[in-house]
Amino acid sequence: MSEIPVVRDVLDDNAAGAAANRARFAAAGVYVMNLMSGPGAGKTTLMERTAVACRGRLRIAVVAGDIETRRDADRIARHGVPVEQVNTGGACHMDARMLEGALSRIDLASLDALIIENVGNLVCPAEFDLGEHDKVMILSVTEGADKPAKYPLMFSEARLMVLGKTDLLPYVDFDPHAAIADARTLNPDLEVIRLSSRTGEGIEDWISWIERRRASRVGGTKD
């Protein structure tokens, strides 16, 4: 019984932090996405491809979340976009207060979109509101088509599911139709993009989706 007040305090504090972040994003007019997946699904590679594809089109920055190291941030930064690293120190997700610290080092008003690359985990990241406009999750074809049924919260909370590493479909036992059907049973409004960061398949659809969501949730691209 003693754990209940502790959990409530953690969630209440996170909610307050998320509200503060949300107000900050609104004031800056920046669209914010919380990108989630299991470990190794391809978030960082997609961020590299996104950085390149957005040049001259969308001004983006990335907050990279990992338990340790800044390897992902260094990879993304090579492509010329602002990147801040958040190390969670053992926590399996980023929370609103962790993000708040990184935001103080980013000029949000100069951006069209901020992408939060959350810690690789199919459970905890979906439980913590960061103040974002949309949750997006990547399911790679190397993970297995049963993941939506086994980890329902992530798919229930997401606005978009990116079906990643599609170039590997000929080499793995993965049924995309079954995975999408299970995910949409949980979330009938879930949008799906099939994508390969390696070949470039679906990258244009991905960038166009970000543009549409920004226009819908925030407004047109800033001058």
Q: Where are the beta strands (DSSP E) in the chain?
A: 31-37, 60-66, 83-87, 113-117, 134-140, 160-164, 191-194
pLDDT for 4 equals 57
Q: What's the average model confidence in pLDDT over 167-178? A: 97
Predicted confidence band at 220 (pLDDT cuts at 50, 70, 90)? low
The residues, ordered by sequence, that sit 6+ positions from 62 with a Cβ below 8 Å of its Cβ are 47, 51, 73, 76, 81, 82, 83, 84, 114, 115, 116, 117
When computed from its CA atoms, the radius of gyration of the chain, rounded to whole angstroms, is: 17
User: 78-96, pLDDT tens digit by residue?
Assistant: 999 999 999 998 888 999 9
Element (H, E) at 70: none
Higher pLDDT, 35 or 12: 35
pLDDT tens by residue, 6-21? 556 778 899 999 999 9
CA distance 213 to 179: 24
Distance CA 108, CA 32 (A): 10
Q: 162-184 burial, b for 16+ CB within 10 Å, e for fewer?
A: bbbbbeebeeeebeeeebbebbb
In this prediction the pTM is 0.92
Give the SS3 label for residue 160: strand
Question: Mean pLDDT, to the nearest integer, of 200-205?
Answer: 98
Q: Which amino acid is at 167?
A: D
The stretch 61-85 carries a mean pLDDT of 95
Domains for the chain: give ranges and CATH numbers. 3-217 (3.40.50.300)
